[in-house]
Chains A and B, each alone.
Chain A
Amino acid sequence: MSMNTQGRPTGTGSAGAAATGSALLPNEPLLFEIGDTDHSGVDLPDVDLDVSFLGGFERQTPLDLAGLTEPEAMRHYVRLSRLNHSIDSGMYPLGSCTMKHNPRLNEKIARLPGFSDIHPLQPISTVQGALELMNQLSHWLLTLTNTAAVALSPKAGAHGELLGMMAIKAAQEAAGQAHRTVVLVPESAHGTNPATAAFLGYTVKPVPAKADGTVDVEAVKAALSSEVAAIMLTNPNTCGLFEPQVIEIAQAVHDAGAFFYCDGANFNAIMGVVRPGDLGIDAMHINLHKTFSTPHGGGGPGAGPVVLSEALAPFAPVPFVRRAGSGLELVEHVEGSALGRVTAFHGQMGMYVRAFTYMLSHGGDGLAQAAEDAVLNANYVKARLDHIFSVPFPDYPTMHEALFDDSFLRDTGVSTLDFAKALIDEGFHPMTMYFPLVVHGAMLIEPTESESKQTLDRFCDVMAELAQDATNGNKERFTAAPMRAPRRRLDETRAARQPVLTWEKPNRLPKAAE
């Protein structure tokens, strides 16, 4: 490979020669190309090896791990970091992902030794502060949702979904309803919903949406039967709309003996303003990494606590915290528990600390204001752009995300993907594309409450200008985009066809898989 030494183009949207990288963004070699097995960035004493307790199991296979001294490591990871877009450097208008500001106070608090340096299995008497935090976080989540119980331990949203559906399954088995094997999932649902239902052995039955983008109560009623275990519904839904008939849907589902699983990915639109428990939900996961500002960290760790209705509360997994005398206890075993545990230890404590710190900072009033601002921002983007981009479901005000389709690109030779990649050259992360699946060439924009009016105006100006350019026939600006990112478009087909998943020394050519 050769180092790309060309500078950044100065004009915007100049579809000229390739010009990735810049003097400040060098192509960084791999760790294994700059380090070797002799280098180390830690000083540890070399002790004599006493083999009497090793049973002859000593390592014979070379580790072949490259090491870096501290200054080399610092430079490697700082340089790599600069190839990433991040919330701190620019907006992520990513629908369904709630990329909001990550307060640094949360990071500071999570690193207090009283939180970071405690072991999950040290005596309960020595972690009363941790249990108090879990208890208070639970209280906030229950208050915000008006539900009966919460299981904190799921490690992420999809894990929370899994737990919630396990609780539903357990409840139905306990009630002699094990023959209920169907789960209704609207076509607009996140991919995790059908994946979770299938994971538990359920048959997934899609529910069509109405022309206005909301779930059809009549279609739900028609699909309900004694075979149906649950419906999995996102509200606000993935089209950014609040389901106006959600209460009737819940009623119908309950009347049919089924449960209502609510995907809480979009809770940011309604926290402090609408309580899902008032809508009749039975279980809902809450993504602490979306709604409650814990950092995404380049893809996790997340946290997905699940709130449960009265009916499902007895099927909560262990562990959970409860009052015991003057203190708190952690219940780690329940005799005959239907569910047991879904993770080792007690879940994502580091995320609980960050989310709770955020809650205290915002207060109940601030959380409601944040939800309102999130909705305001999405409607503002929609209002500023709806004369250029068509809104597939104009009947309702949008909630926290604005959905457009790709009809404005018709006959331009520019795809939604091309259009989104052109946003990169203007300093924005692409919006969510081609999701929800029910809208052709969908572009789902969630600004979150963190973006200022100024940033939204700039974003809207850029969107409008790009749309103009696309319709004017400046196709190459889009099909060749991005041109000003650390890389041009990457060949994903090649990556999948001949997977190279680990580094091999150049003289040992990687073998293709299968």
Chain B
Amino acid sequence: MRYLPHSAHERSEMLGVIGAADIEALFSAVPKSAFKSFELALPSHQPEFRVEAYMRTLAGKNHAAGDGPFFVGAGAYRHHVPATVDHLIQRSEWLTAYTPYQPEISQGTLQMLFEFQTQVARITGMEVANASLYDGSTATAEAVLMARRLTKRNRIVLSGGLHPHYRDVVRAYLKDDPDLVCLASSPEGQGDLLSQIDSGTAAIVVQTPDFYGHLRDLKSAAEAAHAQGALLIVVITEIVSLGLLEAPGALGADIVVAEGQSIGNALNFGGPYLGLMATRREFIRQMPGRLCGETVDADGVRGFVLTLSTREQHIRREKATSNICTNSGLCALAFSIHMALLGESGFVRLARLNHANAVKLARMLGTVPGIELLNKTFFNEMTIRLPVPAAPVVEMLAQAGVLAGVPVSRLEPGNAEVENLLVLAATELTTHADIEMLAECLHAAIGEDGQ
């Protein structure tokens, strides 16, 4: 077994030192009825080339995004990741390091996290950011709980433009909570969010660009929330948008949570991803997750440590701000390297390119008879209404090698209002030929469906 260093001889030598007759003796505390009391019906170990061949077969049964025109978004986006990023994150010292609890021998990870926090704070326009959370959806739930701790109020209002999965995660975290108000889906960008804010409201949660692609007015939302002493939580599922759109911090956001996958991280069928959280400096002691801070060592040399851990479970146990223990270290590293490679000029160009391709997509879709674009505003994603249910159309296009987007019904089943809606995204990887092919296929599919 290639991963196990001991020879049979060494094993018996070690048992001799221990003074045990056999390995079973070391398991003597295990009840007899439970120790090796079964046939393990699993295949035996295999050479590397066999495992690889088998896994390639499984991978080959999937249609990779790069195999053809691709317009799927809705919270996960296909962007180009520079080769340097993936090379660097596979270095042993990054990949196989533990959580940096021993700062003297973890300065690489810690300095990177400090740089990462700074990048996230600047992109979001907030004062501080943490060292990452699991993903955007769980970060949203954590933000909601944080807002309750900060305001000592309970009412939470989720905008109808919030990603349905994010809404569902908040629901699961706040199970059956009468103070959680989830507004109905708002595909047209409508909603009466602001009228829902009252003096018992802890926070309103607004996503922008929202699930349907609309850009939301954060400034009015912040003003309305603050007028009642409530907080504004801003959710961003496409972080590239902030290369082009105003920073939520500049518009009055109190907590910004985001999915950071778009920068440095592959689609990976939904995970691992990267939860970002940024907030005001005065709120840090209620912020969940790890924080990295600057300090000096015994020689006065600058160094970094995980800090404010009195918020965390391993110190506070049942009084912790969250039970969270891990962050998304390696995904944060990939994000940070990619962002360093982009720099300000690259990030802005990337965002503009995304938007430009989305504008081309919108204009082209506008030429397909029967298709209605619901957005007056968007960044790189938009919603169209088809004359027929969207899911079968998407399936038909997939058979033709075109991944056309996400039928809203997949996330909101049983809601007749959204049955014909399709959410599509364009990124820097979208080509003119892709867009033309999509338009042709949609045209054909809608026609065939008896328009």
Contacts and interface: CB of A to CB of B under 8 A. Distances in A.
Interface string A50-69: 10111101111111111110
Nearest to B302: A1
A408 interface: no
A500 B90 contact: no
Contacts of B105: 83-85, 424, 429, 482, 485-486
B45 A366 contact: yes
Given A166-B175, A496-B293, A502 B121 contact: yes
B252 interface: no
Contacts of B362: 53
Contacts of A297: 89, 94-95, 97, 329-331, 333
B215 A55 contact: yes
Interface string A169-207: 110000000000000000000111011111100001000
- Of A67, A195, A332, A430, most buried by chain B (CB within 10 Å of CB) is A195
Contacts of A383: 17-19
Contact of B18 (A39, A113, A353, A379): A379
Contact of A41 (B28, B33, B340): B340
A456 B394 CA distance: 57
B97 A85 contact: yes
Nearest to B359: A50
Contact of A123 (B169, B292, B398): B398
Nearest to A502: B118
A48 B267 CA distance: 28
A430 B106 CA distance: 12
B420 interface: no
A143 B356 CA distance: 51
Contacts of A83: 93, 105-108, 111
Contacts of B26: 372, 375-376, 379, 397-399
Given A126-B403, A349-B271, A376-B11, A32 B115 contact: yes
Interface in B223-246: 242-246
A186 B362 CA distance: 59
A137 B20 CA distance: 35
B318 A195 contact: yes
B59 interface: yes
A184 to B, nearest CB: 13
Contact of B330 (A40, A113, A300): A300
A499 B330 contact: no
Contacts of B348: 63
A18 interface: yes
B346 A44 contact: yes
Interface in A139-166: 140, 143-144, 146, 155-159, 161-162, 166
B168 A340 contact: yes
B428 A44 contact: yes
Given A133-B58, A363-B43, A108 B342 contact: no
Contacts of A323: none
A18 B298 CA distance: 9
Nearest to B287: A501
A241 B313 CA distance: 23
- Of B111, B249, B326, B353, most buried by chain A (CB within 10 Å of CB) is B326
B148 interface: no
Given A41-B82, A64-B344, A120 B270 contact: yes
A490 B62 contact: no
Contacts of B43: 360, 363-364
Q: State the majority secondary structure of interface residues on A.
A: loop
Contact of A66 (B15, B84, B340): B340
Contact of B17 (A70, A78, A384): A384
A275 B34 contact: yes
A256 interface: no
B155 interface: no
A169 B283 CA distance: 31
A300 B323 contact: no
B14 A55 contact: no
A451 B5 contact: yes
A58 B62 contact: no
Contacts of B38: 146, 275, 278
A444 interface: no
Interface in A74-107: 74, 76-78, 80-89, 92, 94, 97, 99, 101-103, 105, 107
A82 B108 contact: yes
B74 interface: yes
B395 A123 contact: yes
Contact of B111 (A80, A273, A485): A80
A59 B246 contact: yes
For chain A, the bracket of interface size reads: 35 or more
B95 A40 contact: no
Interface stretch (A217-225, A242-250, A305-313, A470-478): A242-250
Contacts of B282: 513-514
Interface stretch (A7-15, A23-31, A461-469): A23-31
Nearest to A158: B325
Interface string B25-48: 111111101111110111111101
Given A76-B340, A299-B327, A370 B246 contact: no
A128 B61 contact: yes
B104 A84 contact: no
A415 interface: no
Contact of B98 (A47, A342, A421, A429): A429
A343 B307 contact: no
B6 A453 contact: yes
B49 to A, nearest CB: 10
B104 A501 contact: no
Nearest to B82: A42
Contacts of A298: 94, 97-100, 106, 108-109, 112, 329-330, 333
B295 A495 contact: yes
A430 B27 CA distance: 27
B328 interface: yes
A195 B313 contact: yes
Given A68-B343, A158-B323, A430-B102, A488 B55 contact: no
Contact of B317 (A73, A191, A299, A345): A191
B104 A113 contact: no
Interface in B329-351: 329-331, 333, 336-337, 339-350
Interface stretch (B134-142, B197-205, B440-448): B134-142
Interface string A440-453: 00000000011111
A270 to B, nearest CB: 8
A501 B64 contact: no
Contact of B4 (A18, A278, A366): A366
A299 to B, nearest CB: 4
B103 interface: yes
B244 A54 contact: yes
A143 to B, nearest CB: 6
Contact of B135 (A74, A343, A384): A343
A258 B161 CA distance: 40
Contacts of A359: 42
A92 B98 contact: yes
A392 interface: no
17 contacts: A42-B346, A54-B355, A59-B242, A81-B91, A114-B64, A118-B65, A126-B398, A155-B135, A169-B175, A191-B317, A299-B98, A349-B268, A351-B272, A364-B40, A368-B36, A373-B6, A513-B285
Given A53-B358, A301-B272, A373-B11, 6 more contacts: A59-B247, A76-B340, A88-B96, A118-B63, A295-B330, A300-B132
Q: Which 9 A-B pairs have the closest CB atoms?
A: A67-B343, A114-B59, A345-B270, A297-B330, A129-B61, A364-B42, A120-B270, A301-B272, A88-B92
